[in-house]
Every structure is written in C-alpha cells, then in structure tokens.
C-alpha cells in the first residue's frame, strides 16, 4: 500500500471520502430523524438532522395506520415476505445445486451448451416476461397466491445460483469423490454426503445473495399479489405510501424504518457475509 | 465414435439437469416465445380468451409513431449509459482513493457506503421521494424551492442519480476487491522504475483491474435495463410520461387503466427491450474483447 505523503493529497482523499459518506448517510439519517419527530415539527430541525421535539409515538401510529387503513399489519407483511422468499430459495437451491453438481462432476457432450443456456437466462430482464408470466399463472390458477411470485422468483434465481455453486463444486478435490466411489457410493450419495456438506459456505453465500434479491422484489409482487393480506413488504410499503389515505410524513418515515430495522440489524451483524456474498456472486458471474 | 456410445450409456448427468431444464422450459423459455406471439394480438389482460383479436403487424407499426415509446427508449439509454459510465469512473476513483489512502476505518467506510445496496429499491425510492419534495431536505439544504421530480427535463436525471446512489457501494466493493487481489510485486517494480504515483495508478494498476471493470460494466448493464421500482415509485413515469423507461411503459400499457390496456402492444415493447438489451450486450462484448 502506497502512502500518500504529500499533505495536499492527504487532504484531498479525506475530503473525497467525507463527501461520499455524507451523501450516503444524510438521507438515511434524515429518515431516522423524521421518524422520531412530532408531526408539527416534522420539517423543522437543528442542522437538518436533529429533531426539535422527539417522540416515539410515530411508530405506534404507523402500526395502527397500516392495520386500520390498509388491512394489513407489519407482522403479516413480514410473514408474507418470509414465506415467499424462503420457499423460492429452497426451490432455486434444489434445482441449482443438482444442476451445478452435474456440471462439476461429469463430462458429457452438450455440457457447456446447456450451461450457457442456463446462465443466459440471467440476462433476461424479468420485465420482459411479465406479461406472458401473467397469462401463464392465470392459466394455472395461482394468481393472487404466494405461488404466483414464488415460481418466477425461483426461475430467475437459478442461473446465478448455478453459476456460483458450480464454481465451488468444481473446487472440491477429486480424491474425496474418488475414494467415496471406491467405497461403493453412488453419485447421488457423493452429492449428498460429500459435495453439499463441504459447500456450506458457498450455499450460505448464495442464500444471502438470493435473499436480498427476492425480499426486495417489487414489480412481480405488485402485479401478481392483489389481496392486501398476502402482500410482501415492498408492495405493502408502497401501497401504504400511496394508498387511498393521505399519510403524514412522520408515519411515512416510521413505517419505512420498521421495514428497514430488521435488515439493518442483520446487516450490522453479518456485514462481512453480505458484502462477500454479493461480491462473490458478482465476480463469479 | 466412442464418445457417442458412452453418452448413450450414461444418462446420469442429465438426470440432474432435467428438473432445471423443465422448470426453465415452463417458466422462462415458453414465456419468451409466447411473448413474441402475443405481439401480434390486441387484448385486454382480463379477458377470457386472449387470441380473439389478431392485429398482425399493427402493434409493431404503432411502436414507430408512439412518442411515449421514443421518450422511454431515450430515457432507458440515459439510464444504461449513465449508470455504466458514472459508476465505473466514480466507484473506481473512490476505490483507489480508499485503498491507497491509508484510512484507519477503511472497512467501516466501505460498509457504510455499501449499505444502500441492501435496501429495497422501493424503500430507497420512497425515501428520496420525500427528500426531493418541495419542502424536503434537499431544498432545505440548498435553500431553494425546486420541483425536482416535476421538471420535465431534469426529472429523469434525478432518477438516474438515485439509482447510482443506491448501487455505488456495490461497484465500490467490487473494485476494492479487485485492488486487493492485485499482485504487489508488479506495482513495486513500477515504483523502482521511478514512476510517479499518478502514473503508476493509471498505467499499472488500472489495466490490471480490467477484469473487474468488465464485471462492473456487465452488472450495471444488466441492472440498468431492469430499472422499474425507482421510476415507478418516484414518478410513476411522469410527469406526462417524461420519465418513462421501457419497463415502466410496458407496465403502463399492460396494466394501467388509463393506458391502452393492450397487452399485445405491451408485449411488443417487451420484445424491444429484450432486443435492445441483447444488442447492447453484444456491442459491449465486442468492444471488450477487442481491447
């Protein structure tokens, strides 16, 4: 690492980083701040960020607001997002890990062609498939159920999961697999007993990557989930904000905070995992 | 010859792949083909029988005269090019600054900058919507009263800024990982040769980062074509459709009661999106492999 010894450069680097941090942090801090302000003072503050009058009531109001005006509580929102994300990831992992195993374990004609086909699906913007998917799901009769979003989410998750997992699987020493084979293990058993347990890190990484993508997805959930009771968090939040009822800024920000706080907590604890997971996902691609 | 025989004998590898292929066939390949066919019809999303009204190439012809489509196309380009170029230069610049700047809290800094990428784009949009409103924080800080999201000319660039704001940390981390992976020896060799640090960086480090630059460009390329949440939540494509991108326009035509409710036409737009995306991708790849 080169150290910049000239004072001019030193100051320059500090300023650059400071400005960047400010631009990133100020919006976030503002939301936090407003969520604690009273409604009369919602737009007033000291140095833009410190409330003049603080209160915790906004959060209580936000919870009440969502139940009364929207027919959906935050708890239900979280439950919906959880179920949808969980099941999608399970399906995607099942498909991706088996496919990745095949690519990493065998040699066979059309191998790379098939792999490219699976990866190419990653490039397709989900919006392109919105309409045909809509008709397809309507035909299956699953619109307005969890499955309406689970099926597409899993489909879009498989390519990148396969890519990441194949990379990891290929690094498993052949000797391990060979000795198991000599002991009479079938390929499937090698898959279950050797490859998967050794890939816990890769699988965890993949799960984090997919989790973020699916948990935060908006468009498909907006179109395919109609009943208030099954909305996932992004859609529910958007509907709260733009619903039939006007929502005061303080409750607006408090609602946002409620959805963000679990993510923030997870992020602080698992920072390294998040960042590593997402970078690994990106780089393997 | 031998390969053929053993292929027929050993079908096991395919057993592991078939579930995925079948799943894809149903939920990806079929819809794509279906989408193409849909372009030839006019239909309302909630009608019982889709294929009642065959309109041939009318939808395709309409695309050429639709002003909203041209606006959306232009805006999509702004997004794609803006995202790729700005993220590349800004994030790379900052990564270099942080990496070589001897910062004590380098990890914490990166963690903070990365944070917005973890949030839902919807959340980010809801936050910035309020920041940019007339009485919002931005106007408070700048002491002016500007309608950021209502201005026909500026609004789209504001949206692009928000998108870059959210994903900046993501690109930063990628470049930082790239810098960390660099071989110190090569850089030291340059030092011995007496190169200045600016020269060193531009002529030695950055060329070595090309794989990471490619990654960043590709990710931004793919990601920026998918922009929907930010536009939809912040301006719904307004004012008067001046911030529409292809994805939101598609949505408007298909699902918005004020739109044409013509899913056939919306499918055409979807096809255009796909086409443009592929074209762009191919052009990019050619450029990169030439370098």
Q: Which two tokens stand for residue B287?
A: 């450029």
Query: Pick from A21, A124, A249: which is nearest to B112 by CB?
Result: A21
In chain A, which residue's Cα lies nearest the Cα of B120? Answer: A216
- CATH code, domain carrying B180: 1.10.3720.10
In angstroms, the separation between the Cα of residue A24 and the nearest Cα of chain B is 6
User: What SS3 state is found at A46?
Assistant: strand
**Inside any domain, residue B285:** yes
Number of folded domains that form chain B = 2
B11 and B97 together in one domain? no
B15 and B86 together in one domain? no
Query: Pick from A125, A191, A271: which is nearest to B225 by CB?
Result: A125
The pLDDT assigned to B5 comes to 46
**Contact yes or no for A234/B122 (Cβ under 8 A):** yes
**Contact yes or no for A250/A35 (Cβ under 8 A):** yes
**Inside any domain, residue B46:** no
Tens of pLDDT along A36-72?
888 777 777 777 777 778 888 888 888 888 888 777 8
The pLDDT assigned to B2 comes to 47
Residue with structure tokens 């590593």? A276
**Inside any domain, residue B52:** no
- Host H or E run for residue A137: helix A130-140
Q: Give A22's contacts in chain B (Cβ within 8 Å).
A: none
Q: Which of residues 71-110 of A touch B (CB under 8 A)?
A: 94-96, 98-99, 101-103, 105-106, 108-109
Instruction: Give the separation between CA A218 and CA B178, rounded to whole angstroms.
Output: 31
Contacts of A212 (CB under 8 A, 6+ apart): A274, A278, B118
**Inside any domain, residue B67:** yes
Average pLDDT score over chain A: 84
Tens of pLDDT along A210-260?
998 899 999 999 999 988 888 999 999 888 888 777 788 888 888 899 888
User: What SS3 state is found at A16?
Assistant: helix
In angstroms and rounded to an integer, the radius of gyration of the C-alpha atoms of chain B is: 24
B11 and B150 together in one domain? no
B146 and B76 together in one domain? yes
B92 and B187 together in one domain? yes
The pLDDT assigned to A89 comes to 95
* A5-18 average pLDDT score: 82
Q: Which two tokens stand for residue A232?
A: 């996932």
Domain carrying residue B13: 2-38
In angstroms, the separation between the Cα of residue B243 and the nearest Cα of chain A is 17
Q: Which of B10, B16, B170 to mutate to test the interface with A (most CBs of A within 10 A)?
A: B16
Residue A244: CA atoms inside 13 Å, Cβ hemisphere, count?
Answer: 4
Strands in A98-166 per DSSP E: none
The pLDDT assigned to B200 comes to 64
Query: Pick from B34, B99, B114: which is nearest to A275 by CB?
Result: B114
What is the residue-wise DSSP string for B224-285? HHT--HHHHHHHTT-STTTT--HHHHHHHHHH-TTS---HHHHHHHHHHHHHHHHHHHHHHH
B219 and B166 together in one domain? yes
Q: Which of B123, B129, B251 to mutate to test the interface with A (most CBs of A within 10 A)?
A: B123
Task: Please judge whether A285 and B219 are an interchain contact, meaning their C-beta atoms are less than 8 angstroms apart.
Answer: yes
Instruction: Give the separation between CA A171 and CA A179, rounded to whole angstroms.
Output: 16
Task: Please judge whether A158 and B20 are an interchain contact, meaning their C-beta atoms are less than 8 angstroms apart.
Answer: yes
Query: Pick from B110, B165, B219: which is nearest to A282 by CB?
Result: B219
The candidate with the shortest Cα–Cα distance to B253, out of B88, B104, B44, is: B44
The pLDDT assigned to B152 comes to 84
**Inside any domain, residue B284:** yes
**Inside any domain, residue B50:** no
Contacts of A259 (CB under 8 A, 6+ apart): A74, A77, A233, A237, B120, B123
State whether residue A171 sits within 8 Å of chain B by CB: no
B210 and B85 together in one domain? yes
DSSP label at residue B183: -
The candidate with the shortest Cα–Cα distance to A85, out of A259, A210, A260, is: A210
Q: What percentage of chain A exceeds 70 in pLDDT?
A: 95
State whether residue A50 sits within 8 Å of chain B by CB: no
Query: Pick from A31, A129, A238: which is nearest to B31 by CB?
Result: A129
Task: Encode burial over A145-175: b for 16+ CB neighbours within 10 A, e otherwise.
Answer: bbbbbbbbbbbbbbbbbbbbbbbbbeebeee
B16 and B80 together in one domain? no
Residue with structure tokens 């980010």? B124
**Contact yes or no for B144/B137 (Cβ under 8 A):** no
pTM of the predicted protein model: 0.87
Residue with structure tokens 């030839």? B40
B137 and B213 together in one domain? yes
B30 and B66 together in one domain? no
The candidate with the shortest Cα–Cα distance to A16, out of B192, B174, B168, is: B168
First to last CA, chain A: 28
Contacts of B270 (CB under 8 A, 6+ apart): A127, A128, A129, A130, A131, B35, B250
Domains and CATH numbers, chain A: 7-55 (no CATH), 64-284 (1.10.3720.10)
Q: Give A275's contacts in chain B (Cβ within 8 Å).
A: 110-111, 114, 173
Instruction: Give the separation between CA B38 and CA A132, rounded to whole angstroms.
Output: 8
In chain B, which residue's Cα lies nearest the Cα of A127? Answer: B247
CA distances from B193 to A6, A163, B96, B155 (A): 20, 41, 21, 49
Q: Which of A21, A96, A107, A128 to mutate to test the interface with B (most CBs of B within 10 A)?
A: A128
CA A117 remoteness from chain centre: 24
Task: Tell me phi and psi for residue A46, to 5 degrees.
Answer: -100, 130
State whether residue A155 sits within 8 Å of chain B by CB: yes
Tens of pLDDT along A126-157?
888 888 888 888 888 888 889 999 999 999 99
B31 and B122 together in one domain? no
**Inside any domain, residue B45:** no
Task: Kindly tell me if the per-residue pLDDT of A81 is higher than 80.
Answer: yes
CA B171 remoteness from chain centre: 13
**Inside any domain, residue B146:** yes
Instruction: Give the separation between CA A88 and CA A85, rounded to whole angstroms.
Output: 5
Residue bearing the bigger pLDDT, A170 or B121: B121
Task: Please judge whether B233 and A238 are an interchain contact, meaning their C-beta atoms are less than 8 angstroms apart.
Answer: yes
Instruction: Give the separation between CA A128 and CA B46, rounded to whole angstroms.
Output: 19
The neighbour count for residue B78, using CB atoms within 10 Å, is 17
Instruction: Give the separation between CA A85 and CA A89, rounded to whole angstroms.
Output: 6
- Host H or E run for residue A45: strand A45-46
Q: Give B276's contacts in chain A (Cβ within 8 Å).
A: none
State whether residue A128 sits within 8 Å of chain B by CB: yes
**Contact yes or no for B210/B291 (Cβ under 8 A):** yes
Tens of pLDDT along A16-34?
999 999 999 999 998 888 8
Residue with structure tokens 């994300």? A85
The pLDDT assigned to A206 comes to 87
A144 burial via Cβ count (<10 Å: 0-12, 13-18, 19+): middle
Q: Give A120's contacts in chain B (Cβ within 8 Å).
A: none
Q: pLDDT grade, residue A1 (50/70/90)? A: very low
What is the residue-wise DSSP string for B2-71? HHHHHHHH--HHHHHHHHHHHHHIIIIIHHHHHHHHHTTB---TT-S-GGG-B-TTHHHHHHHH-HHHHH
The neighbour count for residue A71, using CB atoms within 10 Å, is 12
The candidate with the shortest Cα–Cα distance to A121, out of B41, B75, B31, B245, is: B31
The pLDDT assigned to B162 comes to 94
The neighbour count for residue A135, using CB atoms within 10 Å, is 19
The pLDDT assigned to B184 comes to 73
Digit-by-digit pLDDT tens for chain B (291 residues) are 444 445 555 777 788 888 888 998 899 888 888 888 887 777 665 655 566 677 777 777 778 888 888 898 999 999 999 999 999 999 999 998 888 877 888 888 988 999 999 999 999 999 999 888 877 888 888 888 888 888 888 889 999 999 999 999 999 999 988 888 877 777 666 666 655 666 666 777 778 888 888 888 888 988 899 899 999 998 887 788 888 888 888 888 888 776 666 777 888 888 888 888 888 877 777 776 655
B103 and B242 together in one domain? yes
In angstroms and rounded to an integer, the radius of gyration of the C-alpha atoms of chain A is: 24
* ipTM reported for the complex surpasses 0.90: no
């Amino acid at each position: 690492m080169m150290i910049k010894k000239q004072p001019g450069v030193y100051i320059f680097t500090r300023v650059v980083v400071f400005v960047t941090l400010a631009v990133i942090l100020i919006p976030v801090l503002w939301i936090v701040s407003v969520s604690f302000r009273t409604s009369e003072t919602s737009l007033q503050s000291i140095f833009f960020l410190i409330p003049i009058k603080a209160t915790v009531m906004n959060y209580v109001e936000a919870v009440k607001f969502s139940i009364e005006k929207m027919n959906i509580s935050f708890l239900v929102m979280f439950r919906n997002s959880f179920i949808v994300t969980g099941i999608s990831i399970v399906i995607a992992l099942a498909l991706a890990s088996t496919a990745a195993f095949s690519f990493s374990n065998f040699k066979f004609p059309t191998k790379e062609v098939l792999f490219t086909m699976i990866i190419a699906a990653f490039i397709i913007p989900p919006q392109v498939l919105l309409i045909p998917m809509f008709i397809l799901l309507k035909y299956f009769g699953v619109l307005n159920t969890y499955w309406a979003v689970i099926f597409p989410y899993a489909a879009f998750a498989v390519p990148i999961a396969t890519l990441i997992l194949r990379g990891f699987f290929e690094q498993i020493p052949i000797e391990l697999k060979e000795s198991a084979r000599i002991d009479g293990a079938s390929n499937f058993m090698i898959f279950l007993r050797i490859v998967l347990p050794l890939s816990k890190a890769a699988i965890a990484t993949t799960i984090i990557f997919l989790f973020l993508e699916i948990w935060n997805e908006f468009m498909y959930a907006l179109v395919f989930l109609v009943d208030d009771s099954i909305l996932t968090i992004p859609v529910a939040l958007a509907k709260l904000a733009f619903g039939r009822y006007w929502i005061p800024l303080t409750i607006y920000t408090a609602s946002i905070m409620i959805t963000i706080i679990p993510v923030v907590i997870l992020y602080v604890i698992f920072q390294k995992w998040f960042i590593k997971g997402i970078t690994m996902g990106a780089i393997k691609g | 010859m031998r390969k053929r025989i053993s292929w027929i004998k050993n079908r096991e590898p395919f057993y592991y792949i078939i579930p995925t292929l079948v799943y894809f066939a149903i939920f990806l390949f079929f819809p794509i083909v279906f989408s193409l066919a849909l372009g030839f019809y006019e239909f309302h999303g909630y009608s019982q029988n889709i294929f009642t009204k065959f309109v041939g190439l009318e939808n395709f012809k309409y695309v050429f005269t639709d002003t909203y489509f041209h606006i959306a196309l232009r805006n999509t380009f702004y997004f794609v090019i803006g995202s790729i170029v700005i993220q590349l230069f800004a994030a790379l610049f900052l990564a270099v600054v942080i990496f070589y700047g001897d910062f004590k809290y380098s990890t914490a800094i990166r963690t903070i900058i990365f944070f917005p990428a973890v949030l839902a784009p919807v959340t980010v949009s809801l936050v910035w919507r309020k920041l940019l409103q007339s009485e919002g924080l931005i106007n408070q800080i700048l002491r002016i009263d500007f309608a950021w999201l209502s201005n026909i000319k500026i609004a789209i660039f504001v949206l692009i800024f928000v998108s870059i704001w959210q994903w900046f940390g993501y690109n930063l981390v990628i470049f930082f990982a790239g810098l960390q992976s660099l071989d110190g020896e090569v850089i030291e060799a340059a030092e011995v040769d007496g190169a200045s640090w600016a020269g060193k960086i531009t002529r030695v480090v950055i060329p070595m980062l090309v794989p990471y630059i490619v990654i960043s460009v590709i990710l931004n390329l793919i990601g920026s074509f998918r922009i929907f949440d930010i536009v939809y939540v912040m301006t719904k494509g307004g004012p008067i459709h001046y911030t529409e991108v292809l994805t939101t326009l598609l949505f408007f035509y298909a699902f918005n009661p004020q739109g044409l409710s013509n899913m056939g036409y919306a499918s055409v737009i979807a096809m255009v999106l796909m086409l443009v995306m592929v074209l762009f991708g191919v052009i990019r790849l050619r450029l990169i492999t030439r370098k």
